[in-house]
A = this chain, B = another copy of it.
Amino acid sequence: MARNKKQKIQRPKALPPKGFRDYFGSEVTERGEMLRQIAEVYHRYGFDPLETAAVETVEALGKFLPDVDRPNAGVFAWQDEDTNWMALRYDLTAPLARVYAQFRNDLPSPYRRYAMGPVWRNEKPGPGRYRQFYQCDADTVGSASVAADAEICAMLSDTLETVGIPRGDYIVRVNNRKVLNGVLEAVGLPADDTNMRDAVLRTIDKFDKVGLGGVRELLGKGRLDASGAYIDGVGLSDDQAEPVLAFLVSKSDDAAKTLANLRDAVGNSETGRQGVEDLEKIGTLMAAQGYGSDRIVIDPSVVRGLGYYTGPVYEAELTFEILDDKGRKRQFGSVAGGGRYDDLVKRFTGQEVPATGVSIGVDRLLAALREKGRLGSVAKGPVVVTVMDRDRMGDYQAMVAELRNAGIRAEMYLGNPKNFGNQLKYADKRQSPVAVIEGGNEFESGVVQIKVLALGARLASEIETTEEWKAQPAQIEVKRTDLVAEVRKMIARAESQS
């Protein structure tokens, strides 16, 4: 049997690796345009661009990948010929730390830098979860002032409005890790009792799900969950739990009230008091620049996952509702976040360098703009000059050149010209506004035909009276010398009516 089996040619599969994808046409240009707009805002704020390579030494990357404890887990890494390990960067912050340590004597201090580009995660891909995605970061390295944090919050607000999220559809929420640490101090948990601290933080994270009463039980002896299972509690006394509960309900519409509540919650903790003071300063700086609570608010519920944050943390949330996969309404949610981290550079130099920064989730922000109908209104296909006569390619090419030189996107049909229907089908697929046709008769009479395509077809379906229809001819004959002017007119007409 085996001997009769046909020799099968092994061909490579035409697929990207699992978890990677391709971006076509407007997906590429829309992202590029958004990054350009963001860069303009960052530039105006005095931030300078930095582009590092995709590859770093594993040694330089360290093990700072969020939520991963093992070194190098979650990254794509390999050994080079000298047996050194290299890896694809998993974020833009680790390379910044390396660059700052390397060039600290030449860079201005403080150093404001922005960076945009893909990062890679060696994680299980899922729906909408890719192993390569864009990040867009801005960080200030070398400033301990909360004015640096406030500046980034203001910049984040400006950025969202610049790319097309109107005021009212987003909010920048600010908190301070020191406040949370202060609350833990007020509970009476020493800084080195990380087990208990983590247990309390995990419980705080459940506030959204189980409410204040649920948190109270979970901080104490425990509670029965919805399924009837008993969940063990953290084991705090009622007195100990009090600062945590006060913290959870501290948010008020009035910023001064929120700050007063937080001051109560942190009690005598020096760290906590300093944290509240920092938040107050940020509020004052924002107000001085005209950023009110319609744009930036103090919100104690902002925790942010990353372990390395040491001071202010902030995140931008889009507040409009969308329908999820199951048709339920929900808020769009977070599109950017960041905070203060003071330890990254220390790994290299031994010196602590204060830093604060934000990362915008570019792909999520693009999805939000698409959701709001702010992207991809009309895809601009090229004018297609068809080929009626193979021997006059030069003439067709000349038409295309004239159109291009006039700034009109245009191309000659480059497939086999034999079947004219295929040429028009091609033009439709390209979303061409018009096709240009010049056969032998037209050539001799010095005219060309201009045929209205995709946009024209859409218009036709919207036109109600015969008069209107006649005013929208699907094909007109114009003088060859008027080609550019007439094509421009027809494109403008189609655009103004679409």
Contacts and interface: CB of A to CB of B under 8 A. Distances in A.
Given A43-B409, A55-B132, A142-B415, A288 B398 contact: yes
A462 interface: no
Nearest to A150: B397
Q: Which secondary structure dominates chain A's binding surface? A: mixed
A469 interface: no
A27 B45 CA distance: 19
A22 interface: yes
A322 interface: no
Contact of A53 (B16, B51, B52): B16
The quantity of this chain's copies bound in the complex is: 2
A347 B414 contact: no
A158 B25 CA distance: 22
A183 interface: no
Contacts of A409: 43-46
Interface hub of A289, A347, A384 (most chain B Cβ within 10 A): A289
Given A132-B54, A151-B412, A285-B394, A84 B401 contact: no
A470 B366 CA distance: 53
B16 A56 contact: yes
A269 to B, nearest CB: 25
Contacts of A148: 414
Interface residues of A, number: 103
Interface in A62-97: 62, 76-78, 80, 84, 86, 88
11 contacts: A16-B52, A16-B55, A23-B50, A28-B49, A46-B382, A76-B86, A112-B411, A147-B414, A281-B393, A285-B393, A288-B398
B397 A288 contact: yes
A395 B147 CA distance: 12
A24 B103 CA distance: 11
Interface of A: 9, 11-18, 20-25, 27-29, 32, 36, 39, 43-46, 48-57, 59-60, 62, 76-78, 80, 84, 86, 88, 98-99, 101-103, 108-110, 112, 118, 120, 122, 131-132, 140, 142-145, 147-148, 150-151, 154, 158, 281, 284-285, 287-290, 347-350, 382, 384, 393-395, 397-398, 400-401, 404, 407-412, 414-416, 426, 429-430
Given A110-B415, A285-B394, A409-B44, A101 B50 contact: no
Contact of A44 (B16, B140, B393, B404): B404
Contacts of A18: 80
Given A102-B14, A288-B394, A48 B25 contact: yes
Nearest to A431: B108
B348 A11 contact: yes
Contacts of A98: 14-16
A401 B289 contact: yes
Contacts of A142: 414-415
Nearest to A425: B108
Contact of A59 (B12, B140, B143): B12
Contacts of A384: 46
Nearest to A22: B52
B17 A57 contact: yes
For the complex of A and B, the 8 pairs showing the least CB-CB separation, nearest first, are A288-B394, A46-B411, A78-B78, A14-B101, A46-B382, A28-B49, A143-B414, A20-B53
Contact of A349 (B11, B110, B416): B11
A12 B99 contact: no
A23 B11 contact: no
